[in-house]
Chains A and B, each alone.
Chain A
Amino acid sequence: MTTATVSRWDRFRESFFWYSFKRDKVAILSFVVLLLMVLAAVFAPMLAPADPYDLAQIDIMNSELPPAGLDGADPAFPLGTDAQGRDLLSTILYGTRVSLMIGFGAVLLQSILGVLFGLMAGYLGGKVDAVLMRIADVQLSFSTLMVAIIVGAVFKASFGNLMFGEIAIYMLIFIIGVAEWPQIARTVRASVLAEKKKEYVDAAKVMGFGTPRIMFRHILPNTLSPIFVIGTVQIANAIISEAALSFLGLGMPETQPSLGSLIKSGFDFIQSGSWWITLIPGLVLVVLVLVINLLGDWLRDVMNPRLYKG
């Protein structure tokens, strides 16, 4: 037995998690890229040369300027400008911010719903389980996009375009969050079913602890690893869903563009030669989703209990 207490940091540094992270170049690279993108998005107001939301800073005369290094480029706009004359670099920084907010927000909502319903279905079983899982089946049988299109259209019609612009981000978080909770609920339910057979749960019951305490204090912490893995992949999915909706014109308005609406706004100009308005945000989106998915894959490998040997 080693002596003295071990701090959390020491424990982490000795963990299998940290060990396999250090040895996986793809995971490190993905993490660094994701970290940079998140930081850039968080500090966008400080990093961006211009504020794309501020109409006073936009000059229509600067529209469709190409990125630096091409004919007719303006050094003030390193990635060029879009059709309205906004600096593309700033717009992408702000757009990444919006996309990430929707991604994380939607997954947070999914997780809250999914964990709550998954725990109840798995632990209480019986009728509760049957009802909740049938609701989940029904929910999954609608495609996310279809639900979003219908809800979005209704919202747009009833609130008008201006009002819609203000609440769009919350609406997208809500739609994507609600549409995808069954994914998490099913994962949670499966691991709760495995956990609740273990003797520590019996020990808690024998102590007389109430059902909510057993569910949240004893079982929930032991089901977190799969939620973590699914959650990571779901962030990427949510960002993609949002981009798709925005591309269809049902997502973020052009005044507060996300990566998806940026791609859409530039799409009309590809034919006229201004490819960068679509291509650069598109690349950013691909890289963002790719690194999140790569990290998710790595997490799944590390946290898979069948591969993991402590």
Chain B
Amino acid sequence: MTSPLVEIRGLEKQFDLSGSLLEQITFKDGRFQRKQEAVHAINGVDLQVQKGEALCVVGESGCGKSTVARTVMGLLSPTAGEIHYDGKRIDNLKGRDALPYRRKMQMIFQNPYASLNPRMTIQQTLEEPVRFHQPDLSQSDVRAKVQEVMQSVGIDPDWGSRFGHEFSGGQRQRIAIARALAVDPEFIVADEPISALDVSIQAQVLNLMMEAQETRNLTYLFITHDLAVVEHFGTRVAVMYLGRVCELADTKSLFATPRHPYTQALLSAIPRLEDERPNYIRLQGEVPTPVNLPSGCVFHGRCPHANERCRTEVPKLIATDANVQVACHGVEEGRL
């Protein structure tokens, strides 16, 4: 087996809620106490992205999928764990050392209305990264590069002197993709790139991303909450719940036979065109807050199959079939 392009090892990320030392100290029951609170956004995630694949990370809001994306891209620094790119550890690189990876790894954001600088023309937005990473390119080479990426995302290069707000949401997302492609990356993290777009535009952008993957040999880490998109787009899928991966499988196996009870519930909840009534697996209760994580399996409070072991022991991701890994005691014990 070849070594993975991107490897996430034992990733943890907490956001401190308690503020400075002075704010942490409270007076309670007749004595001073120090109280620290944190959001446990990611609690031990291991993922490997193979070259050329599209690994989709799915989950509901608050499951930590966006935090994974931002940590991989270095926008957040991990509390614990490591990020490796092509065998090299990159999460501790700073300044100049990180620059080569900034070129190889790019990101597409969720909100096309906020991801373009409103005071820059499209030409400026696209030229700046090219110039920055290839300072020896001549003016005409830079222009040629910008023209090439604009054409490849279906934006007329004559529109370069316009500002972002003159374009529709779909066109803006194309421009944001062009910006990422302008530095010739190998790996792209896409954080909910189509969820802010209309249905007919979503298809355009998905097609564009698949085309780019083919022509430019891209590897994707695709973050989304929309399972229908995953089925279409992903090579493999990681389902996350409360900061942990609960199932990791190739797309076909996951959709054919979901094993983890949460994956099953999630799949059943997709509104399908052929259904005449909502038809879904009912879960109990609500998603717990990531501030007070439940003990044991994070899903046990809502799981219909939870037993004593689930309440106390954290399940590990265990391979059940080829290409399928599930973190569930029930599956491991064979009762599900």
Direct contact of A and B (CB under 8 A): yes
Q: Which residues of A contact B (CB under 8 A)?
A: 1, 5-6, 198-200, 202-209, 217-218, 221-222, 310
**For residue A1, which residues in chain B have a CB less than 8 angstroms away from its CB?**
159
Q: How far is the CA of A6 from the CA of B163 in the complex (A)?
A: 11
CB A193 to nearest CB in B, in angstroms, measures 15
Contacts A5-B161, A207-B183; A202 near B119 (Cβ below 8 A): no
Q: Are A208 and B132 in contact (CB under 8 A)?
A: yes
CB neighbors of A among B88-146 (8 A): 98-99, 102-103, 105-107, 109-111, 114-120, 128-129, 132-133
Q: How far is the CA of A137 from the CA of B75 in the complex (A)?
A: 32
Q: Check: B58 CB closer than 8 A to any chain A CB.
A: no
> What 19 new A-B contacts, CB under 8 Å, besides A5-B161, A199-B115, A206-B102?
A5-B162, A6-B161, A199-B110, A199-B111, A199-B114, A200-B115, A200-B116, A200-B117, A202-B75, A203-B107, A203-B115, A207-B102, A208-B102, A217-B128, A218-B117, A218-B120, A221-B117, A222-B118, A310-B165
Q: How far is the CA of A217 from the CA of B183 in the complex (A)?
A: 19
**For residue A204, which residues in chain B have a CB less than 8 angstroms away from its CB?**
117
Q: Are B183 and A222 in contact (CB under 8 A)?
A: no
Q: Are B103 and A208 in contact (CB under 8 A)?
A: yes
Q: Are B109 and A203 in contact (CB under 8 A)?
A: yes
Interface size on B, residues (CB 8 A): 33
Q: Check: B179 CB closer than 8 A to any chain A CB.
A: yes
Q: Are B109 and A202 in contact (CB under 8 A)?
A: yes
A202, A204, A208: residue with the most chain B Cβ atoms closer than 10 Å: A208
**For residue B109, which residues in chain A have a CB less than 8 angstroms away from its CB?**
199, 202-203
CB A227 to nearest CB in B, in angstroms, measures 13
User: Nearest chain-A residue to B116 (Cβ)?
Assistant: A200
Q: How far is the CA of A5 from the CA of B128 in the complex (A)?
A: 21
Q: Are B132 and A203 in contact (CB under 8 A)?
A: no
Q: Are A208 and B98 in contact (CB under 8 A)?
A: yes
**For residue B102, which residues in chain A have a CB less than 8 angstroms away from its CB?**
206-208
CB A31 to nearest CB in B, in angstroms, measures 24
Q: How far is the CA of A206 from the CA of B183 in the complex (A)?
A: 11
Pick the residue among B73, B120, B162 that contacts A206 (CB under 8 A).
Answer: B73
Q: How far is the CA of A207 from the CA of B183 in the complex (A)?
A: 9
**For residue A203, which residues in chain B have a CB less than 8 angstroms away from its CB?**
107, 109, 115, 176, 179
Q: How far is the CA of A217 from the CA of B129 in the complex (A)?
A: 13
Q: Are B114 and A208 in contact (CB under 8 A)?
A: no
Q: How far is the CA of A206 from the CA of B98 in the complex (A)?
A: 10
- 5 smallest CB-CB distances across A and B, nearest first, come from A208-B102, A199-B115, A221-B119, A199-B109, A198-B114
Interface of A is mostly: helix
Q: Check: B29 CB closer than 8 A to any chain A CB.
A: no
Q: Check: B158 CB closer than 8 A to any chain A CB.
A: yes
**For residue B176, which residues in chain A have a CB less than 8 angstroms away from its CB?**
203
Q: How far is the CA of A268 from the CA of B69 in the complex (A)?
A: 73
User: Nearest chain-B residue to A3 (Cβ)?
Assistant: B158
**For residue B115, which residues in chain A have a CB less than 8 angstroms away from its CB?**
198-200, 202-203
User: Nearest chain-B residue to A201 (Cβ)?
Assistant: B117
Q: How far is the CA of A198 from the CA of B110 in the complex (A)?
A: 11
Pick the residue among B98, B105, B107, B159 that contacts A202 (CB under 8 A).
Answer: B107
CB A102 to nearest CB in B, in angstroms, measures 31
CB A13 to nearest CB in B, in angstroms, measures 16
Q: Pull 13 A–B residue pairs with CB atoms less than 8 Å apart, ordered by A.
A: A1-B159, A5-B161, A5-B162, A199-B111, A199-B115, A200-B118, A202-B75, A203-B107, A203-B109, A204-B117, A206-B74, A206-B75, A221-B119
CB B162 to nearest CB in A, in angstroms, measures 8
**For residue B120, which residues in chain A have a CB less than 8 angstroms away from its CB?**
218, 221
Q: Are A5 and B107 in contact (CB under 8 A)?
A: no
**For residue A222, which residues in chain B have a CB less than 8 angstroms away from its CB?**
117-119
Q: How far is the CA of A177 from the CA of B158 in the complex (A)?
A: 45
Q: How far is the CA of A310 from the CA of B163 in the complex (A)?
A: 13
**For residue B74, which residues in chain A have a CB less than 8 angstroms away from its CB?**
205-206
Q: Are A206 and B99 in contact (CB under 8 A)?
A: no
CB A3 to nearest CB in B, in angstroms, measures 9
